[in-house]
A and B are shown apart, each in its own frame.
Chain A
Amino acid sequence: MTPSQTTAEIAVIPENINTVQFKTRIRPYLIIAPALLVTIGILIPFAMSIFYSLTNFDFRRRDYDFVGLRNWIGMFTSDVFWHALWVTIRYAFFSTGFALLFGLGVAMLLTSIDNAFSRILRVALVFPLMVAPVISTLIWNLMLNNSVGIVERFLNLFGIFGFPWHASHGTAMMTAVMIDVWVNTPFVIVLIMAGLQSLPKSPFESAKIDGGSAWFNFRKLTLPILKPYIYVALLFRLMASLQEFGIIFALTSGGPGNTLMNLSLSAHQRGFRFFEVGISLTYILFLWVVIFILAKQIVKRWQIAQRTATGRMADGSEG
């Protein structure tokens, strides 16, 4: 009720007031309803996954039994699991690391140089993002083929014949990471470029007057302000590379041998190839715990970096 409303008005429209009050009360629930629905849509399968990981549920059997922690103990005592974890960590480390390094480097180059070539590159570099990673992998597969691949033809010019790429135990990880970096670096570039374009001019002008070197500018001005963007890129890339499935599956299905069998591929294999859904879910849930812990840590650091960067941008003179 507003102060301007009279008693007579209130008496005349009590129903309207009820309606307004009802609408006011219901509004917050309506606003969060979609989020609630999505959350329920996530939480129900999540809870079911935890439940089934404690059973011997198998696609080939109608019934299943509660087996307690047997699947979990089986996973932690299995060489296959520890190998898969090691592959997951190595893959995530290299693919995320290289994507961030290349992304940062290319974004800085493209921002510092403005000519026709860099303008074309800014558009062209986004192309890999427009192709599904599995399709990119299939194309790479063809390009790396020793008989018909264009990369093979190129290497032939330098006297290199029959480079094994993903066919060999020694080079399969490198090949998968190379394709991952090719597919995902543009995402990092776009993100970092957005950060670079939001840099304030005044601190750089002050540093220029004071005779600050390019390295000094990068270390003391650019990097601290870019940190929140780098953390966002790290968060997305690390989460995705820890869960990587499509590129490896399309490239070698986890081979040669077990070279590229990471946690996601192991879970897929146990669930969909061997039908052992209960065991498969333990791999997926373990991966979820790892990602959750890492993501929480990165978000914490991102918040700190965000506050620091905002302070520097507002201050405009630090450094």
Chain B
Amino acid sequence: MKKIKILLCIALIAALSLAVIACDNNDTPATPDAPAQDVTPPAGSGDFDWRAHAGTTLNIMFNQHPYADTVIERIPEFEALTGITVRHSVTPEENYFDVLTLALNARSGNPDIFMTGAYQIWDYAPAGFIQPLEDFINDPARTFPGYNFADFYEAVVGALRWDLVPGNMVGTGSQWALPMGFELNNLAFNQRIFDEHGLEPPRTTEELLTAAKALHEFNGPGTYGVALRGTRNWATIHPGYMTLFATWGARDFEVVDGRLVSRVDSPEAIAMTDFWVELIRYGGPPQWTTYTWYQAGASFGAGNAAMLFDATCNGYFQNYPAGASAESGNLAWLPGPLPPGATYSRSNIWIWSMAMNAYSQNQDAAWLFMQYFTGPEFQAWAGTRNPDAPRRSVSTSAEYIGVVGASVGYLEALEADLPHATIQFTPQPEFIQTTTMWAATLQDLVAGQYSSTEEAMRNLAERKTALLANVEIPQ
């Protein structure tokens, strides 16, 4: 009797486990042979056969992000249109690239499509993990007539092209990915706080430092001038810091005699870093070294920070929709602040993109997915939920302007910065390692571990150059 009870328990546990696994499976079975019902193909499809790969199953890896959410919301429509079954996973950003790298390194073809940033392309493309897309984009048999690749902003889509030569800037070579959305980096400020303190929004670095200092503890302990990221990884360097670094006229690397030489110890780099350290010390968050995208944005939205020098959409998600944060409706935007002598901000750009696994066995089906979710129609729909649309047709539409333009100064700042925006980093194979070293040095510098900014930056430059000593640049 006891044995029967034990067996029953085991059977019950097994059944429950199977049920849980079944519920957790993120695939929605498509009906390969059924005709597409109640689903209108995207405008401009003409005779394009969206069902050419019905019955195929695609695996997609997403980073946890609002851009991914909008895609996931519309997957059922894609499945109904194409007869393709889509299985997807969503991984939090902190571990996303660890998981993705392992999956790609397995060279199994799973995932067929993955979300990536432009910097990661510098690792994945030379490794042969990513399928170049130009053969798909330029093939009328594979791409629906209304796709209109030229509609993408060149600053955005060009940043996803690279010729695989370390030291060569982005913009030439194969198209490795397509943009889902992008982020520039500029200054967001809280109008209410500035009005209450009788301050003018800063347009120069000098005004930024003055305002940040003036707003230190503006509403008691814990409140401060400007929210900035500060954790020990590349994400600390690439938003505000790299934008100002480039605007100040500094470069991270130069090619000298066929080798990459770090230039983070140039006079411009030292002056800019000195400014940044002062900004953090006297006007930054009290726990700056713990500040990620989330802390910086949330602190700004909660009214603890008067300004945010970070990704455009980070502040936007605190402002829109109404009630998104305590300060929703009070937030406004300006182009990146200008150092002495600069006439425009050279914003660093980040692009959440879709790339195709070079080992995918379902590349044509994967291309259907990619063109559907980067096509004009989906992007127009997504553009009313997420700002920073990568397509001109979307960002100039009345609906987009009506929604995104409601955030004061947002579109104007975007318009001012976009023509000069690109990836300001020099593509090279040790991007993650060199920027992690950079962030750690910045943390040490703010904590006073170096006698001067010059000493810190010289030390950093030596280490970065040494790390890349073996990277040969083909002539």
Contacts and interface: CB of A to CB of B under 8 A. Distances in A.
Contact of A274 (B223, B433, B449): B433
Given A255-B232, A257-B232, A147 B302 contact: yes
11 contacts: A59-B102, A62-B127, A148-B302, A156-B221, A162-B221, A168-B447, A252-B289, A256-B232, A257-B441, A272-B98, A273-B436
B222 A162 contact: yes
B221 A62 contact: no
Contact of A257 (B287, B290, B430, B443): B443
B377 to A, nearest CB: 36
A275 B436 CA distance: 14
Interface in B114-166: 123-124, 126-128
A146 B299 CA distance: 11
Q: Which 10 residue pairs spanning A and B have beta carbons closest together?
A: A255-B232, A167-B287, A161-B221, A257-B444, A256-B289, A60-B127, A256-B443, A162-B286, A272-B98, A147-B222
A257 B288 CA distance: 12
B102 A169 contact: no
B105 interface: yes
B101 A272 contact: yes
Contacts of B288: 167
A269 B436 contact: yes
B186 interface: no
Contacts of A274: 430, 432-433, 436
Interface string B431-455: 0110010011101100101000000
A156 B221 CA distance: 9
A61 interface: yes
A62 B107 CA distance: 9
Contacts of B449: 169, 257
Contact of A252 (B107, B286, B290, B447): B290
B432 A146 contact: no
Contact of A141 (B98, B290, B299, B439): B290
Contacts of B98: 272-273
Contacts of B285: 146
Interface of A: 59-62, 141, 145-148, 152, 156, 161-162, 164-169, 252-258, 269, 272-275
Contacts of B231: 252-253, 255
A145 B299 CA distance: 11
Interface string B365-381: 00000000000000000
Interface in B437-475: 439-441, 443-444, 447, 449
B429 interface: yes
Contact of B101 (A59, A147, A252): A59
A164 B105 CA distance: 40
Nearest to B101: A59
Contacts of B299: 147
B233 interface: yes
Interface residues of B, number: 37
Contacts of B433: 273-274
Given A164-B286, A169-B443, A257-B232, 6 more contacts: A62-B107, A146-B287, A169-B449, A252-B290, A256-B289, A274-B432
Given A255-B232, A257-B449, A61 B286 contact: no
A192 B436 CA distance: 43
A166 B102 CA distance: 30
Contacts of A169: 443-444, 447, 449
B304 interface: yes
Specify which of A60, A166, A275 lies most central, judged by the most chain B CB atoms within 10 Å of its CB. A60
A269 to B, nearest CB: 7
Given A60-B429, A147-B299, A165-B287, A255 B222 contact: no
A1 B299 CA distance: 82
Contacts of B105: 59
A256 B286 CA distance: 13
B290 A167 contact: yes
Interface string B287-314: 1111000000001001010000000000
B378 to A, nearest CB: 32
